[in-house]
Amino acid sequence: MTFFVDRLTSFFHGKPRLTPAELQAAFRGHYKEFRALLTANNNALELMAEMEQALGPGHPFGMTFVRGNCTALSVNIYKMIQHLTRLADGRYAELDQPFRAITKQLEQVIASRSVSTEGTTILAMNEVDASTVDQVGEKMANLGEVRNRVGLRTPDGFVITASAARKFIEANDLQVEINRRLKGLDLDNLEALYTVSAGIQSLISTAPLPAELEEAILAHHRQLETGSETELLVALRSSALGEDSSNVSFAGQYRTQLNVSREFVGQAYKEIVAGKYKSQAIVYRQQRGFRHQDVQMCVGCLHMVDGAVSGVMYSRAPDDPRSPFVIIQAAPGLASTVVDGSAASEQFRVSRTAPHAILHRQAATAQSQSLTEAQAAELGAIGVRLEEHFGTPQDVEWSIDQAGLLYILQSRPLGRPASVEPQEPDEHSTTADSLPSPLLRGGVCASRGVGSGPVFTVRSSLDLLRFPKGAVLVIETPYPDWASLLNRAVAVVSETGQMAAHLATVAREFGIPAIFGMNQALATLKNGSLVTVDATAGKVYAGRVEPLLALAAPKPNLMAGSPVYKILTEALVHITPLNLTDPTSPFFRPEACQTLHDLTRFCHEKAVVEMFTFGERYGFNDKAAKQLVVENSPAQWWVIDLDDGFTPDFNPESRYVHLGHITSVPMQAIWQGMMAFPWGGPPPVSLGGLGSIIFQSTRNPSLDPAVRSAMAAKNYFLISKNFCNLSVRLGYHFALVEANLGEFLTENYVSFQFKGGAADQNRRLLRIRLISEILSEFGFRVEQKVDAMTARIEKKPGPYLLERLRVLGYLLIHTRQIDMVMADEGMAASYQQKIMADLHTLMDTPTEG
């Protein structure tokens, strides 16, 4: 079908008449486009996978992630279309239409929330949540979450947004002057630094507010005042935008102004905006590489709470992320007195579990207890709730007013303890004395948490395949290769290695507890024995230690249901669904592309066809495909050299090619895998199996070779030195293996598509599941849609990919008959064992070339 269309097109375009040298040059030009298209495809598929994974647990992300990935994705797909159009001598330009349509929809999704607030100078607290962070800054966005999503009481008020600050600076044309003063500033010259800092701050705080902004602030202030009997006093709180929010040490550097009356609101606002240029802030930004104009001061203007008792609360002890209690500091009056340490405060430890009893109370002086049992319990419950909502321990500022109403003034991530060393046995911990003595202690905590399961020692890639789900991975060295086991392991113990090891990063990402540098791990931990790994404390216990497992930190699941999460989900509707699955379908057309994934699929398929039919279009096709000379092969194989896939001494006039002439590294690896074990012919087939095949063949027209495209009718290798695209039709299976092993990781990948096959649906599904499981174990990302599957690995080093290509080669030859014998799951399991045994042997085969 596609062939026919291509022929028609080339007929209308007229077949170009070129000299052999021109032909060669044209071909290489096309190949260059092809390769660039593949790289863009590689990038695009990786970005899509990353976005899908973000919806899973433990991946907090913001709009920057969504916007950044959508941008990178559309850029790569735009490139694919450009390369395809050039590859096809101008055809497929109509892809631009669906591309524009999809990206336009995507832009609308991304902008859906921010458009409404973009340019808004003021947002009421009722409108503020995590999705407005780009307008209100981190601190106020968090407070908005507490108010509008957790549903706790926070002071009424509004936020003067980043847009407002920008307008204020622009209206007075201050940025140029500010940058001029900062230029060449020597950060070590403290005197100069203070002078410049003070000068800039006064420049800002003496500049007039734009009339429009001033009116808007006062209007919102009036609204806030409505219903209030006494004069309204507000607190103005800075909420910086654009700085690394994870750096808690910097929090509190900016100003907060309390008890501000109406006439001073404007001035207080300007002073907080000016606070952006405090000397510490200037130094901090310059050292970290932030541009000053990219950081904006958003300012919360909140009803002052007339505090009877106020304070701070940590949802966990700052030095112990798994403490079973909440810490509350309380003092009479306003919360600021506790924060700045000016009032003698009282400390409570309140249980994290209901009914949140006070476990411990400590007062500096002989004062009367400032919190009732009920108030302490209410606070304790709130601390736990906020930690659950934000997914990480919280540092909360609170105040109880004269009427006894509890207000949350601020909630932010609790700073991590400075020490990342494994904690020494904590005698204060309520659980410490109830624990058995550990089998092992020491090492470094590579990833926090507790996990329990049977020990499984992995010494080589052979063990990798046998690793059972739910086991504790015990290794000598944390090789990056073991990363593929982490989605099956419950904990990792390694004799060597440290926190910075790649495997440690992956373990943290997956939330798998890991201890590295644990001496004697291999000798002490016996295969199959049940252990509990407490990575946070650096200990391994025999058996299951329930009290420890109960303490394991909750998995953060903050994002689900949040506005940003929703935006990503909506964006993905235009990105990942794949509608163009069958290249032979009449709907495999540019105008049928509904998602970015469809576009990548279409471009890739057509690019391969273009490379394949180049010879035909330019008139040297009959010589392009060489038949591979092989013995004892169940099929015929054809090879097309795209660039440098044959040795220079190969005679281009020859109709045959020997393996020895093939320089393509990926092709050689696939071939090794295919030929490593002799193909024994189909296994004995039960009558039901055979009958099923015949039945399917007679009624499924897509299995009729005459209906398939010409390209799929034979087995073709399209190769260059670093590239191989193999389309296979063996028996009733259609498979496509494609790999590139270039000089850059960005270009490296192996992909595998598999579809069809005789036998009934049930057997085909069993087979696909078998292949999926095997490929997942080898680190492939597998997607399965009914009886079709795709598997990919990107951006891995060459040797790693060659190993995978050998596995694919093996599977291509040896699974073709499997479905015939897959009468039940038991058969599938025994086949899997046989295949694994073969693959173990194959893994030990050294790579050629």
Partner 1 sequence: MTQPLKVLLIDDEIDFVETTGKRLIRRGYLAKTALTCAAGLEIITSGWPEVVVLDVMLPDRDGMDCLREIKEKWPTLPVIMLTGHASMETGLHGLECGASDYCLKPIDLETLVEKIAIAHRESRPRGA
Binding positions for partner 1, rule: CB under 8 A = 25, 28-29, 31-32, 35-36, 39, 64, 67-68, 70-72, 74-75, 78-79, 82, 103, 106-107, 110, 179, 286, 289, 291, 294, 743-747
Q: Which is nearer to partner 1, 75 or 560 (CB)?
A: 75
Q: What is the DSSP string of 94-131?
A: GGHHHHHHHHHHHHHHHHHHHHHHTT-SEEEGGG-SGG
Minimal distance, residue 41 CB to partner 1, in Å: 14
Strand bridging mode 539-542 / 637-641: unpaired
Minimal distance, residue 648 CB to partner 1, in Å: 16
Minimal distance, residue 278 CB to partner 1, in Å: 19
Minimal distance, residue 29 CB to partner 1, in Å: 8
Q: Which is nearer to partner 1, 96 or 760 (CB)?
A: 96
Contact 539, 438 (CB under 8 A): yes
Alpha-carbon distance of 426 to 323, in angstroms, equals 10
Minimal distance, residue 444 CB to partner 1, in Å: 24
Q: Which is nearer to partner 1, 98 or 443 (CB)?
A: 98
Minimal distance, residue 756 CB to partner 1, in Å: 35
Q: Which is nearer to partner 1, 31 or 671 (CB)?
A: 31
Contact 478, 505 (CB under 8 A): no
Minimal distance, residue 621 CB to partner 1, in Å: 23
Contact 97, 590 (CB under 8 A): yes
β-sheet with 296-303: strand ranges across: 122-124, 157-160, 296-303, 234-241, 256-260
Helix 190-206 to helix 265-274 angle (10° resolution) is: 150
Q: Which is nearer to partner 1, 525 or 593 (CB)?
A: 593
Alpha-carbon distance of 623 to 549, in angstroms, equals 67
Shortest CA distance to 285 belongs to which of 256, 257, 247? 247
Helix 20-54 to helix 563-573 angle (10° resolution) is: 150
DSSP H or E stretch at residue 775: helix 761-777
Minimal distance, residue 558 CB to partner 1, in Å: 22
Q: How far is CA 265 from CA 236, 290, 302, in A?
A: 8, 29, 11
Classify residue 662 by its DSSP letter: B
CA within 13 Å, CB half, 277: 26
Minimal distance, residue 110 CB to partner 1, in Å: 8
Contact 385, 293 (CB under 8 A): no
Alpha-carbon distance of 770 to 757, in angstroms, equals 14
Q: Which is nearer to partner 1, 89 or 225 (CB)?
A: 89
> Amino acid letter at 252?
G
Minimal distance, residue 31 CB to partner 1, in Å: 7
Q: Which is nearer to partner 1, 176 or 706 (CB)?
A: 176
Q: Which is nearer to partner 1, 38 or 512 (CB)?
A: 38
Minimal distance, residue 68 CB to partner 1, in Å: 4
Alpha-carbon distance of 144 to 133, in angstroms, equals 10
How much of the chain is in helix, strand and coil states, percent to nearest 5?
45, 20, 35
Shortest CA distance to 810 belongs to which of 834, 789, 786? 834
Q: Which is nearer to partner 1, 184 or 846 (CB)?
A: 184
Q: Which is nearer to partner 1, 26 or 124 (CB)?
A: 26
Alpha-carbon distance of 620 to 604, in angstroms, equals 23
Q: Which is nearer to partner 1, 10 or 600 (CB)?
A: 600
Q: Which is nearer to partner 1, 82 or 672 (CB)?
A: 82
Minimal distance, residue 496 CB to partner 1, in Å: 25
Alpha-carbon distance of 550 to 381, in angstroms, equals 18
